[in-house]
A and B are shown apart, each in its own frame.
Chain A
């Protein structure tokens, strides 16, 4: 494709779009599809066809609109409908030229929508992820065009560094610095890898990104490849995300067909190819060295670092690994400039972050908020607080690698530093909210069970340590624990954290450490109850023996 072709394609697609009088967008991501939004999309299409309105009404499936708890969501022109079922299709088509359907209305002026800032997800819910033309109409590949025709790789890296973007996978390593390291690494063959092995319980940001706007991820990868001097990209997606795999595959094929990836992109000398690798569902394969081993066709095991993948990664070549969301951030930075990106957020954490809200909360779903927003605003304002009149207890961020944050700390801001200071981590963006009915020892036990079953078994501290910690948590929760068990648990936490080989083991104790930090009394309560019942049992046994003595 020539540069001018992209522009003419965009203009034509936009003109085609404007030719329609009405637009109906139906969410067709996994969450809404589980409520049969695919059937709804078909019914709406049939209804429009039946009434002979195909020339006037455009019905398409789009990515996630955020408020997953009220799905399926449908947007008819500017009106948002929630909990839509197939039988509502005629009413929605009727409403296009008259009054909105009152009983399905979703208030778009509620804080859930107004307090978000959409940069990464700006096109999610607007574009049809399965249509390249529709994506191009909404500006896809414009950033790649700009980069290839008017910027040197150094300028691209500088732009990303200036933006202050940090890795969205959890650790928050400065993206510009990572790109510069890979660019400087000697070697003619280099790789870029997109880490889509999102495995945290309660996290679905990356899935939504890949399902809702796959071309943006591809575009980000292509820009990264140009910047670091790579020709080959790999998207590593877990096989549990079949829809994401399907849409990414389709996106790659479409982009190939239109020469947006492949040889001599936009007539330049830049070549870039992408392939998809499926993960077989191991949490540890989200760790970069394990991911690389898995892509190479080996067992997904981490290895000691250094050497870092930036110097010796996939097949021993310098490799850039970034998270899906990080790549999705690239196009807006290039399009709008580093300065506009750097304006958003805090001193050290720039831009926006996508969070997946789950648990005991009114509005579950996906949100994109500027860094530096108060946690309280997310929980009570955006997420609408706790349902059923219960009290908030804690929120777990960062999944099994993160920690919980209690009610009296909700004033902290959401950025990499303050979450770490509070004993948790930013993580990839899962937020699990717990109310007063949750027992924190049980919460810690749940996450430890997850780590125990997901430990790869390579290093002893993680393999046996997670088992032992789970065993001790089990004892304490089931009121069989003692104070010695608690002390042993604490010792193990420190040891596993310090000695494990990779991030999985090093962060596995975090849920225990943070629940101990804020909710130690719950552990002590359970131990006291255990001791009390033990004392009762002893007294009863003694009573029995006295009785026997009297009898004899």
Chain B
């Protein structure tokens, strides 16, 4: 499923008590961001298909008993959306805390320290401690690729790398294995990354990774900075060409 293409018809809705007009087919997230209303996300990335897994962008829609993921919900006429109620803020905090408890996120020794979306999110949501029991799983670092490194300790399973590899690069080297907390990113048939025959070493996965899970080799603490600008550019260029 790709992000909905707007069909042009104009509709009006309310987001956080602000009257907003948009084109039909646009998602709540897109419209909110266009209007400088910030809805936090981790798995969403402009130019990739919608995943809906991080659940940070959940919003309240009047009349709907369930919370809706802003990245996957299309605006409808007269919709009344609340993006930051105390309940939503609390849920978001808990979700990010759970991500910290799930694997071994140690910022002080991480190459992405200071340039990490997970870290930034924790700061933004004012998380000062994690109330859940830590899992401390034993995880591997895949250092077999000659240009990049995969550290499963820092992965949050947002699957941006899987999607960029399959949808933009067209290689589909990466996928997910396992279920629940045992799920993990794999290359080809769960081989070491360096032995993958499909990987083109394009490096797109490294740049879309929100944390220090995917990094260039030879980076030290705090040195890994991701360049994400290529993706909107690529998608735009491909759209105009086709």
Contacts and interface: CB of A to CB of B under 8 A. Distances in A.
A391 B54 CA distance: 45
A525 interface: no
Interface of B is mostly: loop
A492 to B, nearest CB: 8
A534 B183 CA distance: 36
A453 B98 contact: no
B52 A304 contact: yes
Contacts of B94: 491-492, 495
A171 interface: no
A460 B99 contact: yes
Interface string A458-500: 1111011111100110010000000000001001100100111
A475 B183 CA distance: 24
B67 A457 contact: no
A461 B179 contact: no
A492 B90 CA distance: 11
A288 to B, nearest CB: 15
B50 interface: yes
B164 interface: no
Interface in A439-461: 452-461
Contacts of B180: 452-457, 463, 466-467
B9 to A, nearest CB: 18
Contacts of B73: 304, 306
Contacts of B182: 457
Contacts of A458: 51-53
B179 A471 contact: no
A484 to B, nearest CB: 9
A95 B69 CA distance: 67
A465 B176 contact: no
Contacts of A459: 52-55
Contact of B133 (A282, A453, A472): A472
Contacts of A495: 90-91, 94-95
Nearest to B58: A499
A467 B175 CA distance: 22
B50 to A, nearest CB: 7
A299 B176 contact: yes
A303 interface: yes
Interface string A279-323: 000100000000000000001000110100000000000000000
A39 to B, nearest CB: 38
Interface string B80-120: 00000001001100110011011000000000000000000
B54 A498 contact: no
Contacts of A455: 179-181
B63 interface: no
B55 A501 contact: yes
B52 A303 contact: yes
A468 B181 CA distance: 10
Nearest to A299: B176
Contacts of A303: 1, 52
11 contacts: A304-B72, A452-B180, A454-B179, A456-B183, A457-B176, A460-B99, A463-B102, A468-B101, A472-B133, A498-B87, A499-B95
Interface of B: 1, 50-55, 58, 66-67, 69, 72-74, 87, 90-91, 94-95, 98-99, 101-102, 131-133, 135, 156-157, 175-176, 178-183
Interface of A: 282, 299, 303-304, 306, 452-461, 463-468, 471-472, 475, 488, 491-492, 495, 498-501
